[in-house]
Amino acid sequence: MNELWYQHMENQGAVWHEDRQSIANFGIPEIERHIMKHGAVMTSLSHMGLIRFSGEDAKTFLQGQLTQDINLVSETQAQLAGYCDPQGNVLGLGVLFLFHGAYYWQVPRNSVLPLLKRLKMFIMRSKVDCEDFSDLLPRFGYAGIHAAQDIVVLLNEKLDETAYGQHYLQAEEFADIAMIRLPTAHPCALFVGPLPAIGILWDRLETNGTKVGTDDWNLMDLAYGLPQVTGELQGKFNAHQLNLDRIGAVSFKKGCYPGQEVIARTHYRGKPTKRLMRFHTPAAIQPTIGEELVVHYGEDRTQTLTVIATGPDLNEGALILAIASIKGVDDADGQFQLSSGEPLVMEPMGYRLVDLSNPT
């Protein structure tokens, strides 16, 4: 991690996990989690990796590799983009944005090196550089019920209304910092820019924001139903199973990219049998990423869910994102039991799981 940014977080009271990339808390974890429900929260996004694409062929290269239409990415509009193998299995997923002339793709940190290794295989004679920028460009997030209002009051800025809307801040001292709106239940901003300006910006927003740890911050993606394709999950699930078509990470109007034929065939002619879904249980459990969770329903019937993400619910129990059989969930009417006998119930996410105009 950028040592100056690390030191800035240390001065803020950050308690780090052993990896020195993710934050456990800022000293008062119980209060921090409570504030998640009632006010604005903020955290460093150093647990997320960043790949930089530059050079005169960068746009063309990305258009031929990622699932998103790169023509839609500008310095006023970021996009969610995936990267797949030829079978349509997802290798990477994250926010792609254009920042001072170069493209940046924010993905889970432990997926960066495998992604770089694979992407560089296809550069050949293209004039494009792919670099790990995870430690070179600090980022932090600010979100909550009153986050948009805080941004107006403290920064004299307006958070974009559209998902992934982006702009540079107007104040001269923050002119090199971009703000991107992320889709969560409450207004959420991603700030990206160089030191020392981004450190000063953090201090300004901390006037109203409560600092929280990485796991608490990730609860917003979990609740919304946004998967993180970490290193453990690379290549394990296809684009439809991870709902890339539902969260706006796939363009069905652009040309070829790895996995495009399979993804398009499923979209137009097929019907996925499994989807990413969100579940809640009052049980205090925390299954690991990739764990297969056997659940029960009906008379001695079972289904196996594959866990993508999990975290403690802000009220009680746990939230779980898992790949589940659509038919099995329908048969159970979304109501399951854990082996311990406690209920596990499917819950709505921040987007429609079924498009009525194309109910795949």
The pLDDT, as a whole number, for residue 356 is 41
Closest by alpha carbon to 1, among 132, 104, 178?
132
Tens-place pLDDT, residues 88-144: 999 999 999 999 999 999 999 999 999 999 999 999 999 999 999 999 999 999 999
Domain with CATH 3.30.1360.120 in the chain: 1-272
Residue 21 scores a pLDDT above 70 = yes
Using an 8 Å Cβ cutoff, are 55 and 72 in contact? no
Rg of the chain taking only CA atoms, in angstroms: 20
Tens-place pLDDT, residues 48-67: 999 999 999 999 999 999 99
List, in order, residues 6 or more apart from 173 with CB less than 8 Å away: 197, 200
Tens-place pLDDT, residues 290-335: 999 999 998 889 999 999 999 999 889 999 999 999 999 999 999 9
Separation CA 66–CA 78 (nearest Å): 14
Taking the model in full, what pTM does it have?
0.95
- Partnered with residue 145 across adjacent β-strands are none
CATH topology of domain 273-347: Elongation Factor Tu (Ef-tu); domain 3 (2.40.30)
Tens-place pLDDT, residues 209-227: 999 999 999 999 999 999 9
Residue 357 scores a pLDDT above 60 = no
Q: Does domain 1-272 match CATH 3.30.1360.120? A: yes
Domain with CATH 2.40.30.160 in the chain: 273-347
